Structure 1
Amino acid sequence: MPARGKPEKYDSLDNVDDAFFLFNKMIHKYPMPSVVEFNQLLGAIVRMKRYAIVVSMCQIDCGFSVLGKMLKLGVEPTVVTFSTLINGLCNQSQISHAVSLFDEMIGQGYRPNLIVYSTILNGLCKTGNTYRAVRFLRMMEERGFEPNIVAYSTVIDCLCKNGLLNEALDLFSEVKVKGIRPNTVSYNCLIHAMCNLGQQKETTRLLNEMVDNNISCDIVTYNVLIDAHCKEGMISEAIEILDTMRKHGIEPNVITYNICIDACCKEGMLAEAKDIVDTMIKQGIEPDVVTYSVLVDGHCLQNQMDKAKSVFQLMIEKGCAPDIHSCNIMINGYCKDACFWAGSKSSDMFDFVGWFMQKW
């Protein structure tokens, strides 16, 4: 019997064509490579983030080919094989196919591991299948797979994003009763939902609970709180929170600054907005397209089209490409500008529209 060939090295694979070449080479080998090698090949393609390729290389109900070929050649797939394919399907938002493959896996007598369950659960949540996700979570528990805090947080976040805060709070309480320690992410999901509903007292209660349990706030927590205060017009309080986070060793990011800049611009506090921009630049954080867009919008709201135009041009000079949103802000500003309708600014408007049409 011929000796088994030397296993290929899949860690160095970075080209899909090479992966296909290896696959064809493998299926013509004698004796057949082990299932471990097939799994390694699929895993290598996943690491390239070419999930569609992994999916296209299978053949059950969804038009797969690797799995079908493996079965035809007598190579028995493992849980890892199914896990890789389910992961690829979920990353392509083909959750129905992923669940079908999961059911097929169980039907063939395979016992899914926690990774497979978590992958399906995450896929259901990402695609907004909230109630299916909750049922799947319960099924995990019934089958003896105790979900970890990551799995629970995923479902809590999904419930919150779909306006089911009470259900999210019930699940959160259940987690604590089971002795599972909540993490920053699970608290952030609830705090964000409460802030959106204006439940400031409940938000404060959760923040105090985090402190009591030695769970640190992160940049997401602070950004949510700052955004909530800004939306309520409490800009000075938002700036105080920004100062507090810095005292706790958490540096604001571009999102933090953009929230504050946007709030100032909406309140007509353009000088204060400019000061915040100067501060972020001193901190080594470059303004992004959102920063420039809110500044442009701030000037447009004050009918300062010359200044809006200057900021827009500065954005381009700094190498920050305008997007469709920032361009729409400018066009909207020109249309609302009284000087434009008086005729003195009409050339600026048409020049901008001409530039816009060429770009898009």
Structure 2
Amino acid sequence: MAAEAAPPDSDSENRVAEAAILFKKMLDSGNCKPNVVTFGTLVKGLCANGNNTAAIQLLRKMEEGGCKPNLVIYSMIIDSLCKDTLVADAHNLFSEMTSKGIAPNVMTYTSLIHGVCKLQDWKEATRLLNEMVSKHIFPNVFTFSVLVDTFCKEGMVQEAKSVVKMMIQRDIEPNTITYNSLMDGYCMRGEMDKAKNVFKVMLSKACMVDAHSYSTLINGYCKRKMVDDARILFLEMSHKGIVPNTVTYSTLIDGFCKMGRIQDAQNLFSEMQALGQLPDIQTYSSLLDGLCKNKQFPKAVELLEEMEGRKLDFNIVTYSILIEGLCMAEKVEYAWDLLCSLSIKGIQPDVRTYTIMISGFCNGGLTCEAENLLRKMEEKGCSPDGCTYNTIICGLINNNETSRAVRLIEEMVERGFSADASTMELVINLLSKDKVDPALLAFIERPG
């Protein structure tokens, strides 16, 4: 299957860079002429790191040096382009390849089908399928798995199930990836009985279930607030000899946190580290959110400091969790201090962070501070969105600042944003009262 490429790590990028330097020395010396295998190895490394431009440039150097690119090299670049949804470029390279008499194979077509499916271009996916069959290139398990995965991600589980049936009818055995995708599709729809049935089918087949399978089903249960079922499944993994990975632990920790079972989450957090599974940014963020929502701020701050000490590559989302928690606990001053400290850490607040802080100010009756922050975020190059305006307008109305609210409503409309349901409800409630701010009434009654 044309699976998603893993983000390149710095070591991998460094090795490819070193290989490229060595390769250039080979070319410059003229003593050692690289062959198609040498070119292919370097193209593979560049594609693995998502460096499509350099891969294509290397393809051109092959041609200039009289070394004819083969199907493998073309297919690697086409696959890399499709993973980055650069489908038009992939199509161009595909046309170039076929015009040179290089016939595509099932993996070339599978990569293209994967690319167009990511763009939801079902018509083109069907055309490619028909074209490959007309050339007597028949879809394999990877091709069908791409379709199953895409249909499930789009919520089209019935279509995905039909593809699986078609595979079986053609004596193509669905693999772990196929079944995992189908199970995930049912989980996304909350159809846990059907998801469990797929899981049982996988269990009935030897070596079919992996850690990802368990993580998928555990996530489905957690999303439906069936955390005890998720925990039973988690414990079952060890009996089956399958080691939970960081994703599995993070999923269940998040489930516990969302159910307010912070102690269970913390115990699992400690367990994973004791067993050698390092928490990632998602694990920490889930636990941090749970601690904040349960008003355990000393532990939340301690956890944040631990994250900073580990020098994890986390972003504004993590800090926004703590800022929101502090605001909800009416610790607005601490939230503001944390927001102000971000510039020292080299982190730029985004529109959601500013909106959270504006909401905190409004809930604390600090409407002037809220409006000042609205202006300040603009100065910092972060434009407010519709949610920001609705948040501060609701805050002003709730604090009986209707004249200022009307001014911001007008500003919001001029910027192309509209009032959401909460804002409209507040406005309607105000209009139903005997005493209404004339400015608000004039705004509501104005033509257009």
- Shorter-chain TM-score above 0.5: yes
- The superposition leaves residues 282-306 of structure 1 with CA deviations (integer Å, 9 ceiling, x where unpaired) of 1111111121011111211122222
Aligned with residue 297 of structure 1, among 359, 370, 383: 359
Shift in Å at residue 246 of structure 1? Answer: 2.8
**Relative to structure 1, is the Cα distance of residues 310 and 104 closer, same or farther in structure 2, using a 3 angstrom cutoff?**
same
**Relative to structure 1, is the Cα distance of residues 278 and 147 closer, same or farther in structure 2, using a 3 angstrom cutoff?**
same
Aligned with residue 410 of structure 2, among 328, 351, 354: 354
Q: Which residue of 2 aligns with 1:3?
A: none
Report if the CA contact (8 A) 2:155-2:189 is conserved: yes
Residues in 2 aligned to 1:108 and 1:48: alpha-carbon distance in whole angstroms: 24
Report if the CA contact (8 A) 1:82-1:105 is conserved: yes
Aligned with residue 280 of structure 1, among 342, 363, 372: 342
Please state whether the residue corresponding to 1:57 is helix, strand or coil.
helix
Report if the CA contact (8 A) 2:361-2:367 is conserved: yes
Aligned with residue 217 of structure 2, among 155, 169, 183: 155
Q: Which residue of 1 aligns with 2:294?
A: 232
The amino acid that maps onto 1:354 is E
TM-score where L is the length of structure 1: 0.83
Report if the CA contact (8 A) 1:51-1:91 is conserved: no
Residues in 2 aligned to 1:18 and 1:216: alpha-carbon distance in whole angstroms: 38
Residues in 2 aligned to 1:237 and 1:73: alpha-carbon distance in whole angstroms: 63
Shift in Å at residue 105 of structure 1? Answer: 1.0
Q: Which residue of 2 aligns with 1:61?
A: none
**Relative to structure 1, is the Cα distance of residues 144 and 57 closer, same or farther in structure 2, using a 3 angstrom cutoff?**
farther
State the aligned residue count. Answer: 338
Mean alpha-carbon deviation: is it higher for 174-183 or for 78-87?
78-87
Residues in 2 aligned to 1:192 and 1:151: alpha-carbon distance in whole angstroms: 18
**Relative to structure 1, is the Cα distance of residues 22 and 109 closer, same or farther in structure 2, using a 3 angstrom cutoff?**
same
Report if the CA contact (8 A) 1:303-1:337 is conserved: yes
**Relative to structure 1, is the Cα distance of residues 70 and 184 closer, same or farther in structure 2, using a 3 angstrom cutoff?**
closer
Report if the CA contact (8 A) 1:334-1:349 is conserved: yes
Residues in 2 aligned to 1:89 and 1:221: alpha-carbon distance in whole angstroms: 28
1:335-354 aligned at under 5 Å gives the runs 335-338=397-400, 340=401, 346=403, 348-354=404-410
1:175-254 aligned at under 5 Å gives the runs 175-250=237-312, 253-254=315-316
Report if the CA contact (8 A) 1:156-1:172 is conserved: yes
Please state whether the residue corresponding to 2:174 is helix, strand or coil.
coil
Shift in Å at residue 39 of structure 1? Answer: 3.8
Report if the CA contact (8 A) 2:237-2:243 is conserved: yes
**Relative to structure 1, is the Cα distance of residues 189 and 100 closer, same or farther in structure 2, using a 3 angstrom cutoff?**
same
Residues in 2 aligned to 1:228 and 1:80: alpha-carbon distance in whole angstroms: 39
**Relative to structure 1, is the Cα distance of residues 301 and 356 closer, same or farther in structure 2, using a 3 angstrom cutoff?**
same
Residues in 2 aligned to 1:178 and 1:219: alpha-carbon distance in whole angstroms: 28
Q: Does structure 1 residue 40 correspond to structure 2 residue 108?
A: yes
Please state whether the residue corresponding to 2:120 is helix, strand or coil.
helix
- The superposition leaves residues 120-174 of structure 1 with CA deviations (integer Å, 9 ceiling, x where unpaired) of 2333333433222221111112122431112211111111111111211111111
Q: Which residue of 1 aligns with 2:329?
A: 267
Residues in 2 aligned to 1:18 and 1:181: alpha-carbon distance in whole angstroms: 38
Residues in 2 aligned to 1:32 and 1:288: alpha-carbon distance in whole angstroms: 48
Q: Which residue of 2 aligns with 1:52?
A: 120
Residues in 2 aligned to 1:197 and 1:116: alpha-carbon distance in whole angstroms: 31
Report if the CA contact (8 A) 2:117-2:147 is conserved: no
**Relative to structure 1, is the Cα distance of residues 142 and 218 closer, same or farther in structure 2, using a 3 angstrom cutoff?**
same
Unaligned 5+ segments in structure 1 are 1-5, 59-63
Identity among equivalent pairs (%): 27
Shift in Å at residue 19 of structure 1? Answer: 2.9
Please state whether the residue corresponding to 2:74 is helix, strand or coil.
coil
Aligned with residue 19 of structure 1, among 76, 91, 95: 91
Report if the CA contact (8 A) 1:19-1:45 is conserved: no
Q: Which residue of 2 aligns with 1:9?
A: 74
Q: Which residue of 2 aligns with 1:329?
A: 391
Mean alpha-carbon deviation: is it higher for 244-253 or for 169-178?
244-253
Residues in 2 aligned to 1:204 and 1:50: alpha-carbon distance in whole angstroms: 37
